Structure 1
Amino acid sequence: MGQGGGRALPTREQLRVWRGYIETAEILRTRLAGRLQGESSLSSGDYQVLLALSEAEQRTLRSSALAVQIGWERSRLSHHLGRMEKRELIRRVSCPDDIHGVDVIMTDSGAEAFRASTVPHLRAIREVFVDALTAEQLAHVEELTVALRRHLDLPD
């Protein structure tokens, strides 16, 4: 699939491409997170959690399923949920059918914060990412993303 499969280490050129990709992706994440925080008072982590809950049935997910869905370790999620709970964006309740399970529920306040942040966040994505690329370049980004996700055994 990839080029240079017989090499033990990446070439100088391959490392240059890698660094450019990683550094640019990090700058994109940082700028989008800064805009989100400045325009809505939600962190990117808050937004990830609220997005997952907004798509869930009854705005509720088991904490273990939420961790898997957003790709976080359980301990990181637990600490983050504690901060979100203090701000009344979510509630955590024990699962009636599992003594060790915890359901995470988006509150009305969390739903309102998520709704209020969505349009500015989507506008920022357009301005920072989409507007920088032609339709053809955007299609190439999608192809690259699919190839990387397949190589990493991640769902498309």
Structure 2
Amino acid sequence: MNESQPRWLNAKERAAWLALLSTTTLLPGAVETSLQKIGQLSLFDYNVLAMLSETPSRTLPMSELAARTSASLSRLSHVAKKLQLRGLVERSTHADDARVTAATITDAGLSLINELAPLHVETVRELIFDRLDAQDVADLARISRKIVHGLDNSHWILRTPAP
């Protein structure tokens, strides 16, 4: 094949690409609507709080939190500052390494995430999982992990066992 020629998508690949692109474009706004209305949180804000709430210590180094939220440290730092001003997150020097900044979800942040979680999971269920059967869910997880691996083969989600 001539390297100067594009590898055009065939009809099935194009249909799959456009469906994926539409999904990734429409889904965040649809999920975020209820979070904004009730908690005045973006989907990313919610994800930051959720990742912190799921750790036993409610604390993560900022670098690990950035990895778990698929964000740059600068984006996460900006959002953490905003959440800190709202009293939802605290930032401090990490207990084990003074060079590391850690983020901790506050009691107010935990209370907000606990209030929003049932609404969030119901929204996700209605928008995605109520439309899929068990095989679709397994396929979605498998395909998504393959795509993530191609984008970032050290992404934290790949370190968690596939269901």
Q: Distance in 2 between matches of 1:39 and 1:47?
A: 12
2:115 aligned partner: 116
The alignment partner of 1:68 has SS state of helix
Is the 8 Å Cα contact of residues 94 and 100 (structure 1) preserved in structure 2? yes
Quickly say closer, same or farther: Cα 1:105–1:150, change in 2 above 3 A.
Answer: closer
In structure 2, which of residues 7, 10, 34 is the aligned counterpart of residue 9 of structure 1? 7
User: For structure 1, which segment, 23-32 or 71-80, has the greater mean C-alpha deviation from structure 2 after superposition?
Assistant: 23-32
Q: 2 CA distance for matches of 1:24 and 1:96? A: 41
Structure 2 segments unaligned to the other structure (5+ residues): none
Residue equivalent to 1:56: 55
Q: Percent identity?
A: 27
Matches within 5 A, 1:83-122: 83-122=82-121
Deviation at 1:87, TM superposition (A): 0.4
Greater displacement, 36-45 / 50-59:
36-45
Distance 2:27 2:69 in 1: 19
Superposed CA RMSD: 2.1
**Correspondence for 1:70:** 69
Residues 150 and 79 of structure 1, relative CA distance in 2, 3 Å threshold = closer
The Cα of 1:61 is off from its aligned counterpart by 1.0
- The one-letter code matched in structure 2 to 1:67 is A
**CA 1:55/1:12 → structure 2, altered by over 3 Å: closer, same or farther?**
same
Contact between 2:44 and 2:69, CA under 8 Å: does it hold in 1? Answer: no
2:78 aligned partner? 79
* Worse overlay, 89-98 or 108-117: 89-98
- 1:24 alignment counterpart: 23
Using the size of structure 1 for normalisation, the TM-score is 0.84
Partner of 1:44: 43
Unmatched 5+ stretches in structure 1: 1-5
Q: Contact 2:35/2:42 (CA < 8 Å) preserved in 1?
A: yes
The structural deviation recorded for 1:17 is: 2.1
